[in-house]
Structure 1
Amino acid sequence: MTSMLEQAEQTLETAQAEVNTRWYPRYHLAPRAGWINDPNGLVWFDGWYHAFYQHHPYSTQWGPMHWGHARSKDLVHWEHLPVALAPEGPDDKDGCFSGSAVVNGDTLALIYTGHRFIGDAGSDDNLYQVQCLATSRDGIHFERHGMVIDTPPGLHHFRDPKVWREGDDWFMIVGSRVGDTGQVRLYRSADLHQWHDEGIFDEAEAGMGYMWECPDVFTLNGKRVLMFSPQGIAADGYHNRNLFQSGYLLGDWQPGQPFVRDGGFVEMDHGHDFYAPQSFLTPDGRRIVIAWLAMWESPMPEQQDGWSGMLSLPREVSLSDDNRLLMKPAAEVTALRGSHYPIPVQHLKNQKVPVLANAEAVEVELKWEQHPAAAEEYGIALGDGLRIYVDNQAQRLVLDRRYPEFGVEGSRSIALPAGGILSLRLFIDSSSVEVFVNDGEACLSSRIYPRADQRDLLLFANNGSAVLKEGGYWSLDK
């Protein structure tokens, strides 16, 4: 009898050959074929970075979740490995949902949510989500140990465990939902098998979401960062414009003590597509975050091409002196750079200036002089579909995408940062753009779907003048 893991591999080998690559990423991690969503189990183990991810190998739609798997020596060149987990046990028969990975001596441990229905799958009353364990000595083949934490009484949504070690103990946080209140629950263990309930780590007050998915806790500059993806926060002006958000709360916490917040919820990325971020530590101690570069219930035109979704570039996070989370591309991303092409200083006035034809895999750096700029709008465009520009009247930096034939439209923006120079670092791939502002002060990430004849890059200034102080671009090679 062929196992579910073997069936998944056979399906992927066949489907991979049929993928249309017109929008398939040139340097982002994406599934060989089929569906991808949350990154899981990001970890350094036995000389490799490992990235697991929510995966449905049998179609480009969300379905019974597997754990896809890839590894890398440098965080940017990824090697696909066999599917690591399939929903083949009594505790995860309807899906191996999101989770995390830790190194325990010479063993790699995956802690994930077993998703199962007892009775009619159309009712949440029959849903039970439990936390499961699987281990490996080689980082590729996993022994399943089944459930280690059962569904708490009265709960049904109880998922996405993140595990870390502190002192002599392991700690786990799990996202949950009680009525219409999102919360994060805390557990402690000495061995990853037996867990003690430590109560509620934090929970939503009115307006902060009915479910807190994919929680993560880490320390930066002595502060605890609780990173999570709340569902059910209403849009407020320019804030929380996506259907679901990803962000963080700062606070203080020590084992045995309550988590004490220091400030309110802050979004991490202000583009259209950034969800379920997960963090991990590099061997040299940097905190890296990777997210799903898509958004629930949004159009995904690539589904007609045999694949769906991708992961973001790895991003290093740090905390500023005034306690703001900064996020910039990991240093390893520069390994993708090919030839460099300078963009001469430009004084634009009511004009468009070509930069590059057929920009499909490129990193662009631009430094605009803000104060002399009189143009109502100035920035950079990719064909007719994407513009990243300063709206001088609103004093905002705007990412605007227009692909009406696919139902992919709309703008996202941030308040224009203070200072004389606006520094932008853009990563354009076949179907994505990631914008980093002023060395990590803000990020905007969105999916894009340009036609082959709509990939020319150009600078522009409308209704006035603008000055590009410095610029250049690199071709990027995987």
Structure 2
Amino acid sequence: MKILPILLSIALSVIVLSACNNEKNADNQDAVTSDSLLVESHFRPLYHYSPPKNWTNDPNGLVYYDGEYHLFFQYNPYGDKWGHMTWAHAISKDFVNWENLPIAIPENERDSIMIFSGSAVVDKNNSSGFGTQENPPLVAIYTAHYHTANPDAYKQNQHIAYSTDKGRTWTKYEKNPVLDLGKKDFRDPNVFWHEASGQWIMAVVLPSEFKCLFYGSKDLKEWTLLSEFGNAGNQRMIWECPALIELPWEKGKSKWVLLISAAHPDSTEKYVGMQYFVGEFDGKTFKNDHPNTTTLWLEYGKDFYAAIPWNHVPDKRTILYGWMNNWAYAGDVPTSPWRGQMSIPRSLSLKKYPEGIRIVQQPVKELETLRQKHHHFENIAIDNVSDLLSGIEGRALEIKLEVLLQDAKEFGIRVAQGEKQATEIGYLVNNQQLYIDRTRSGMIDFSPKFPSKDQAPLQAENGKITLHIFLDHCSIEVFANGGKVAMTSLIFPDQESDGLSLFSNGGKIKVNYLDIWELGK
């Protein structure tokens, strides 16, 4: 959960100007589900989750229970700027179609306690005593943020709430907080059941100290400090939203991965991004396999942050979900009446490369149900700009292609293309860099920090580059070489900009295959 000074001043103004009382809170419990103010924008995504209206940021409490994927998220019931942080709620059976539900865990406005980021679990053995063996409770573990007029007097500690009706209603634990260090910044608990040690494990951060603390509990109420991890990776910006996950990497083998939301590979501005650490976890201590100076980046686009995994996915996949935005300009993106959306869900695994074990990210298979009209091409020679795709249009597309390198110095595909605008997804052969160039993508002047050409290191494999691209009205997600590299970027093109084209510079390429699906529901 990110707190920036400018957003804090906005939030404080909202609180001062709004006379908060119980009646007002009750009137807004269904705010996230109301379409009464919804005016459809051509930026509205087709298959990425966005709330009908108002501000949203971090995904929270991702949990599967009884046939439903639960998405909770940071939400402002009163407007499209950060403030009044509350857990809103949506559910899905397939990651594609989402049903908005009433607000799950509201801000305590009387005491100015916001509901910051956290996680949720199915307490299947009823260790907490909040449910029964026959009807185990859902338990949410979240940060309570005590918001005052003086930022130096802020306080954060960890609370829990529980539900015994499939997450439809929630009760805050009467003995909260369950974990309190008396600190201003202590947040984002991510909890899972660790079978080998027979306990609940919590990863939670001290953001400005660049530390992740690990706690253990038998009942989700009493927590004992196990160890801490820090002084590693990138420390250019505060650490947030930790998640400790076990991932397979070879047959019968696994590694533990610690995800941390922090800085971005682009150090020219205060952009946020995500890094990760690969190592071992024994139920008490996380041991990093790499030197502390090593930084492994999860993403190279500007718009993927605060991602956490779903708990209790039935087929044992580890599925990651992130906020598609960046704090550098999040309050200014030109969408209305909503501001903020989620990424597509990604299935995670590990793969051993010459440089070491790395995360591989793949779009979940459920997205294939969106595929409609299909265009297929193969064995295409491209020299300069091709008109091969001139008859294909769309703002919601899935694209897969494999390119055999020849003598071109650069190549790529342009999407959301209009008369004077396009977003370029390309590859610089000599530099071995994948890039997304959104400097001519459409509306870019709402923030000087938005226009960018973001790059990621990517080596060809057997002389080939593969790209898997998802375009959805105002966003692009790219998975390269089987998911070794991921890049996510917001774009805001004109409504008429829906064209495509392939290009090469300084020589030729051969497209071994190209598949394009027009997507719809």
TM, length-normalised to structure 2? 0.84
Aligned to 1:94: 113
8 Å contact kept, 1:290–1:312:
yes
Which ranges of structure 2 fall in alignment gaps of 5 or more residues?
A: 1-20, 125-135, 249-253
267-276 or 290-299, larger mean C-alpha shift? 290-299
Cα distance change, pair 288–266 in 1 and its aligned pair in 2 (3 A): same
Deviation at 1:7, TM superposition (A): 2.4
Deviation at 1:85, TM superposition (A): 1.1
Deviation at 1:199, TM superposition (A): 4.0
221-230 or 13-22, larger mean C-alpha shift? 13-22
* Superposition pairs of residues 119-158 of structure 1, within 5 angstroms: 120-123=148-151, 125-138=152-165, 139-146=167-174, 147-153=176-182, 155-158=183-186
Cα distance change, pair 209–397 in 1 and its aligned pair in 2 (3 A): closer
Query: What is the SS of the residue equivalent to 2:403?
Result: strand
Query: What is the SS of the residue equivalent to 1:334?
Result: helix
8 Å contact kept, 1:26–1:477:
yes
* Superposition pairs of residues 329-478 of structure 1, within 5 angstroms: 329-355=363-389, 357-370=392-405, 372-383=406-417, 384-402=421-439, 403=442, 404-407=444-447, 408-419=450-461, 420-478=463-521
Aligned to 1:298: 329
TM, length-normalised to structure 1? 0.91
Deviation at 1:209, TM superposition (A): 4.1
Deviation at 1:207, TM superposition (A): 5.3
Query: What is the SS of the residue equivalent to 1:43?
Result: strand
Aligned to 2:273: 245
8 Å contact kept, 1:378–1:391:
no
* Superposition pairs of residues 77-226 of structure 1, within 5 angstroms: 77-88=97-108, 93-105=112-124, 106-117=136-147, 120-123=148-151, 125-138=152-165, 139-146=167-174, 147-153=176-182, 155-167=183-195, 168-177=198-207, 180-200=208-228, 202-205=229-232, 208-209=235-236, 211-221=238-248, 222-226=254-258
Deviation at 1:252, TM superposition (A): 1.2
Aligned to 2:27: 7
Which ranges of structure 1 fall in alignment gaps of 5 or more residues?
A: none
Between Structure 1 and Structure 2, the one with more strand by share is: 1
Aligned to 2:130: none
One-letter amino acid matched to 1:227: L
Cα distance change, pair 365–377 in 1 and its aligned pair in 2 (3 A): closer
Q: Distance in 1 between matches of 2:169 and 2:330?
A: 35
8 Å contact kept, 1:4–1:86:
no
Q: How many residues align?
A: 464
Q: Distance in 2 between matches of 1:205 and 1:433?
A: 31
Q: Distance in 2 between matches of 1:79 and 1:433?
A: 24
Query: What is the SS of the residue equivalent to 2:445?
Result: helix
Q: Distance in 2 between matches of 1:472 and 1:400?
A: 22
Q: Distance in 1 between matches of 2:179 and 2:296?
A: 32
8 Å contact kept, 2:271–2:302:
no
Deviation at 1:472, TM superposition (A): 1.5
Per-residue displacement from partner, 1:190-217 (whole Å, max 9, x unpaired)?
Answer: 11112223342x0135952453100010
Cα distance change, pair 210–342 in 1 and its aligned pair in 2 (3 A): closer
Cα distance change, pair 373–8 in 1 and its aligned pair in 2 (3 A): farther
Aligned to 2:362: 328
| Aligned partner (choices 254, 263, 276) of residue 282 of structure 2 | 254
453-462 or 212-221, larger mean C-alpha shift? 453-462
Deviation at 1:11, TM superposition (A): 4.0
* Superposition pairs of residues 43-58 of structure 1, within 5 angstroms: 43-58=63-78
205-214 or 107-116, larger mean C-alpha shift? 205-214
Q: Distance in 2 between matches of 1:339 and 1:310?
A: 26
Aligned to 1:28: 48
Cα distance change, pair 385–218 in 1 and its aligned pair in 2 (3 A): same
356-365 or 31-40, larger mean C-alpha shift? 356-365
Q: Distance in 1 between matches of 2:25 and 2:393?
A: 39
Cα distance change, pair 358–234 in 1 and its aligned pair in 2 (3 A): closer
Per-residue displacement from partner, 1:92-126 (whole Å, max 9, x unpaired)?
Answer: 73310000000012211111111103xx5332x31
Cα distance change, pair 51–109 in 1 and its aligned pair in 2 (3 A): same
Cα distance change, pair 290–304 in 1 and its aligned pair in 2 (3 A): closer
Per-residue displacement from partner, 1:404-452 (whole Å, max 9, x unpaired)?
Answer: 3334311111223222221111000010000011111111100010001
Cα distance change, pair 19–297 in 1 and its aligned pair in 2 (3 A): farther
Q: Distance in 1 between matches of 2:326 and 2:474?
A: 14
Q: Distance in 2 between matches of 1:67 and 1:357?
A: 40
Q: Distance in 2 between matches of 1:49 and 1:401?
A: 33
297-306 or 46-55, larger mean C-alpha shift? 297-306
Aligned to 2:129: none
